[in-house]
Structure 1
Amino acid sequence: MALLQPPRSSYTKASKKVWFSYVEGSNKFQHDLLGITNSYIAGNLHLQFPEEEPLNAKQIEVSITGTEYVHWTEQVIRTCQVYNASTNSFYTHTYVETIHYIHEKQILNRSLILWQSSNLKNNVRSKKELYEKVTNMHIPFQISLPNDLPPSMNLDTGNIYYNVNAKIKRKMNFWKCQGSKKKIKCICNITRYSPMPMTDPFRWVEWDDQKAWKRGLGYDVSMNYNTFGPGNPIIVKLALKFFKYDLKIKEIFVGLKEYHIFRASGNVKSIKKYAEERSVSGDQFPNILNTHNEWSHNFRIEVLNDKVNWTTDRYNINVHHKIKIKIKFGFFSGKKNINLERMVNIENILEEP
């Protein structure tokens, strides 16, 4: 059975004569559950050179590297004084300057020597004898991953990305403009996992007290967890008790809000957006109250990794989340909206089998 290979588009440095494949039965480099168990990358390096033009090599190395990268631009209006020789005077010139804020840091670099020429192994010092002719090689490799490694992420302004690299030390060929090193580089997606969290109940209650009577509405809102993911959807339990029959509610809203904070070159950029939203229109309430003028509903938000980014606590790239609950009375109601919020974690929780 042929081994699966990374798609051509995943190579940022490629070669027709050197390429990677995954281990048998797999379609990715990463194995096991990073964050839960010891994880590693594994694959095969393939070399295929014609018999009449073999590769003169002395060492082959494979590595896994990770990079944290932040970049954004801002345009600033500047002014300066410019001298006009024809009028013998200065005038103010206004222009727009584009400023680049950049942070780039390597967060992982683990390498493994796959092959050495026999003379290099034996410490032969003659440069002419260090190289061996290589035509066909298929070399398996495996490199362990640190347990605290952050997952791959692409936030446009900030990214964490990983590459599997091969570096071949070869004999220089001036006639073919070949240097002493041949490299290929392939994107390697790293996924981090979390186990099912322990319960962490939280509750907001103003149900049958003076505040509720004065407002004309009592509420009881609760959550059983503060960590959510694909295997643990967000469930907000909300109950209302009406003390005034003519009280009008415009909307009940529950949303998962995501915040991005990027730091580079001494500056900070913030972005925020709702990743998921749920709502109930207020005009439904007269028809859904029970005999005690109460209403309850469970707002459920499935956490899908194509719509939300994992909570990430790094200095240069920070992603955090809040659950926001809003009971809106409308502009002319004379009532102050009820706004509740709680910080939560969004992690790649394994779904139960």
Structure 2
Amino acid sequence: MKDHLDLSIYPPKSQYKHSCKNIFFSYLPNNTNFQQGYLGVQQTKIAGILHIRKPITNPLLTDKIEIIFTGKEFVKWSDVEICNNINKKIIELSYIIWESSIKGVYQKITDLDLPFEIPLPDDLPDSFSFKQPVKAQISYALKAKFSKPTKYFGLKCGVKKVSILCPITRWNLPVRPTLQPIPMNGRRSIPLSEGVEYVANLDQTIFGIGNSITIPIELILVNMRVYVKKIKIFLKEYHQLIKKKFIHYDSEKVAKSEIYGDQLMLVSGTMNRYEVKAGLDLVSNNQRKPILPSVRSDHIVIWHKVIVKVILCNASKIKFEKEIKIVNSLCEEDALMITEERRKSNWSNWSKMDKLSAKAVYNLSIN
């Protein structure tokens, strides 16, 4: 039975891979996940509490309880290509959080709360999952493992483990725009002699999920018969799954917007020059499928391109594209808080070093 009324600190049942109604996890108070800290920006850990609530008539018999944090990279091909499935462990960290006071003697546990903390290495990739056309994911899990006898006074023992999914998110500090515009690669099938000149730029190539991309586009239509019908802007996400020489590749549009020709405005004082700032919102909640962050692991690569198509009347379309990186980006407020924490930490460390140096000089002088 869960002791607290605040159900928000308990992970949903759907998150459990192996469950027991009398043994369960909770987040720390005032938290809604196990991850503590912004991985990739600051020192991060997994923290929570393991609760044991067994009846007196059926206690948990154990001499040791471990918490194990694991991460796996998984790819499932079709039934024909099943021999190429990937199920690779990328991390495993194990900590003993309780041990019998008498080694090898199994204790009867009915009511126990065990807090735990697991520091994470900085290079872990994000959790993610996609199912079409091939199932692939990087996932993490927490497992409580109980060292148990197979029988106790002739009775079989119960639960041996409880495990739960533990999503991990990587973060980036906010990315500042560059001082110089970054040209997008432009392609078209019409020669310059047809009288269409164009340029498109970005001011950065790393964008956060939830942010917006702004693309300044300039068009000069020397040929007065040519005009703009539509400008299409979209973010394309590419998935590449690799195992030796076996490679699966697919792509899909995960965000898009459009500008119609009659929305374009002439630059003041000109008759044929147009400037427009095309925009694209990277808000996963508004998309048919969530935008995944860019990933590069041993077997799974995810990358993104911004693509702009200018549909012209009486001329072939123009296409711009640029590979970009998609990340989970901190808001300015959180970034400032972390920067301030680092500053205070560095100042504290320097003060300690100064005191130690002063003490060392003093000791040398009296000797």
Which residue does 1:14 correspond to in 2? Answer: 19
For the aligned residue pairs, the C-alpha RMSD in angstroms reads: 2.3
Q: What are the Cα deviations for residues 114-154 of structure 1, in whole angstroms up to 9, with x where unaligned?
A: 1111111xxxxxx5xx2112111101000011101001101
Q: What are the Cα deviations for residues 60-86 of structure 1, in whole angstroms up to 9, with x where unaligned?
A: 001111110001216xxxxxxxxxxxx
Helix, strand or coil: the match of 1:257?
A: strand
Distance 1:11 1:250, change over 3 A: same
1:254: how far off?
A: 1.8
Residue 321 of structure 1 pairs with residue 304 of structure 2: yes
Which residue does 2:40 correspond to in 1? Answer: 35
Which residue does 1:51 correspond to in 2? Answer: 56
Higher strand share: 1
Distance, in Å, in 1 between the alignment partners of 2:56 and 2:68 is: 28
Amino acid at match of 2:64: Q
Distance 1:24 1:2, change over 3 A: farther
Q: What are the Cα deviations for residues 158-183 of structure 1, in whole angstroms up to 9, with x where unaligned?
A: 1011111100112323765437x710
1:204: how far off?
A: 5.2
* Correspondent of 1:238 among 196, 208, 217: 217
Contact 2:11 2:25 survives alignment (8 Å): yes
1:280: how far off?
A: 2.2
Residue 131 of structure 1 pairs with residue 106 of structure 2: yes
Helix, strand or coil: the match of 1:69?
A: strand
Task: Give the alignment of 1:112-191 within 5 angstroms.
Answer: 112-120=95-103, 130-156=105-131, 157-173=135-151, 177-178=156-157, 182-191=160-169
Distance, in Å, in 1 between the alignment partners of 2:96 and 2:201 is: 55
Which residue does 2:266 correspond to in 1? Answer: 289
Residue 277 of structure 1 pairs with residue 259 of structure 2: no
1:234: how far off?
A: 1.0
Larger Rg: 1
Amino acid at match of 1:323: V
Helix, strand or coil: the match of 1:118?
A: coil
* Correspondent of 1:298 among 257, 260, 277: 277
What TM-score do the two structures reach when normalised by structure 2? 0.79
Distance 1:258 1:205, change over 3 A: closer
Contact 2:209 2:326 survives alignment (8 Å): no
Distance, in Å, in 1 between the alignment partners of 2:318 and 2:229 is: 12
Which residue does 2:339 correspond to in 1? Answer: none
* Correspondent of 1:218 among 188, 197, 214: 197
Q: What are the Cα deviations for residues 198-226 of structure 1, in whole angstroms up to 9, with x where unaligned?
A: 434312599xxxx75x2322223111000
| Unpaired stretches in structure 2, ≥5 consecutive residues | 334-367
Helix, strand or coil: the match of 1:254?
A: strand
User: Which stretch of the first structure deviates more once superposed, 312-321 or 190-199?
Assistant: 190-199
Distance, in Å, in 2 between the alignment partners of 1:12 and 1:305 is: 26
Amino acid at match of 2:246: N
Contact 2:184 2:202 survives alignment (8 Å): no
Distance, in Å, in 2 between the alignment partners of 1:30 and 1:315 is: 24
Distance, in Å, in 2 between the alignment partners of 1:53 and 1:279 is: 64
Helix, strand or coil: the match of 1:26?
A: coil
| Unpaired stretches in structure 1, ≥5 consecutive residues | 75-97, 121-126
Residue 344 of structure 1 pairs with residue 324 of structure 2: yes
* Correspondent of 2:228 among 243, 249, 252: 249
Distance, in Å, in 2 between the alignment partners of 1:25 and 1:240 is: 53
Helix, strand or coil: the match of 1:99?
A: helix
Amino acid at match of 2:144: A
Contact 2:239 2:249 survives alignment (8 Å): yes
Contact 1:205 1:219 survives alignment (8 Å): no
1:328: how far off?
A: 2.5
Helix, strand or coil: the match of 1:329?
A: strand
4+ aligned runs moved over 6 Å, structure 1: none
1:337: how far off?
A: 2.8
1:296: how far off?
A: 1.7
User: Which stretch of the first structure deviates more once superposed, 165-174 or 52-61?
Assistant: 165-174
Distance, in Å, in 1 between the alignment partners of 2:244 and 2:15 is: 30
1:327: how far off?
A: 2.0
What TM-score do the two structures reach when normalised by structure 1? 0.82
Matched residue count: 311
Distance, in Å, in 2 between the alignment partners of 1:186 and 1:230 is: 26
Distance, in Å, in 2 between the alignment partners of 1:54 and 1:9 is: 26
Distance 1:13 1:279, change over 3 A: same
